[in-house]
Amino acid sequence: MTGVSGPLRAQVAAPLAPESRTKLSTTPMLSRRIPASGEALPVIGLGTWQGFDAAPGSDEYCRLPAVLQALFDAGGSVIDSSPMYGRAEAVTGELLAAAGSRAKAFVATKVWIRGRAEGLRQMNESLRLLQTERIDLMQIHNLVDWRTQLATLRDWKAAGRIRYLGITHYTAAAYGELEAVIRAERFDFVQLNYSLDERDAERRILPLAAERGMAVLINRPFGGGGLLRRLRDRPLPPWAGALGATSWAQLLLKFVLSQPAVTCAIPGTSRPEHMADNARAGAGHVPDAAFWRRHAELFSV
């Protein structure tokens, strides 16, 4: 990939993890390294906001096992949840346990409360709902009482109850505080919003994450869904085929992945066909920023 050098080039060109083999395509899903450990993560995961807040027995709930299977079949592993997401943690835990798929998943959730005792209670409840003894990534959600919760996360990581710790936000309005926290403290991950129409992160937060050796999860890669609604009736640009993109969702995800600091994008969905389509964005060529500058017409959405 041109225009990328040093550690970022190494991250973009990271060797593929064995689990990144897909049954949906002969091209494997790409993986990128977690800087803190060197562990490879597949570049497309799954967010559970709204989609996994489903009542057992409902039509929505009955579709979700196929969503998880589509993620795993494509070589993906990251599943992101939160106590804020209603039933999502419980549903995720139930479905992973029923399918015997916990070992295939990189499970991320969050602490979203004030107070040490309250944070401990919430994190222990997440372990129970997710039906796991260890969470891969625990994140401080939206910077809530981050100093208090960071101390607990460090204790849990040292005890082996979580593997990685991180911090999140979903709006650019919080980037000033998020930047200050990242500069002041050590985190393994940061999760934030980034999309074709929400590009604030590329100016400071993404370069800072690379500088600080942090993995990056991207939420809202479709701008909360608004981008796809606006693009729905437009034909794909003629150059999309050269990227292996056959849908607007894939093209928008490839735009997100063109940032070398991005480790994994986690679009949310409750439909297996959408999960399979999203996952295909993680295979094949991912262009660099210069490519998108040459095709600036895509930005007029």
- Residue from 273, 269, 228, 233 nearest 249 by CA: 228
pLDDT of 49 reads 95
Q: How far is it, in rounded angstroms, from Cα 33 to Cα 230?
A: 33
CATH of the domain at 208: 3.20.20.100
**Tell me: the pLDDT tens digits for 239-252?**
999 999 999 999 99
Is 62 inside a domain boundary?
yes
263 and 229 Cβ atoms separated by less than 8 Å: no
End-to-end CA distance of the chain: 26
For 161, the domain range is 6-299
Is 120 inside a domain boundary?
yes
pLDDT of 6 reads 33
Is 210 inside a domain boundary?
yes
Is 95 inside a domain boundary?
yes
Amino acid 220 reads R
Is 190 inside a domain boundary?
yes
| DSSP string over 62-102 | HHHHHHHHHHHHTT--EEE--GGGTTHHHHHHHHHHHHT-G
Is 40 inside a domain boundary?
yes
**Tell me: the pLDDT tens digits for 193-226?**
999 989 999 999 999 999 999 999 999 999 877 8
pLDDT of 16 reads 31
Amino acid 271 reads R
Q: How far is it, in rounded angstroms, from Cα 188 to Cα 63?
A: 33
Residues of the chain with pLDDT under 70: 1-26, 299-301
Is 1 inside a domain boundary?
no
pLDDT of 1 reads 32
pLDDT of 260 reads 96
266 and 217 Cβ atoms separated by less than 8 Å: yes
Tokens 């040093």, located at residue? 6
205 and 179 Cβ atoms separated by less than 8 Å: yes
Give how many domains the chain has, as a whole number: 1
Is 158 inside a domain boundary?
yes
Tokens representing residue 93 in the block:
């835990």
Question: DSSP secondary-structure letter at 133?
Answer: S
| DSSP string over 135-178 | EEEEEEGGGTTHHHHHHHHHHHHHTTSEEEEEEE---GGGHHHH
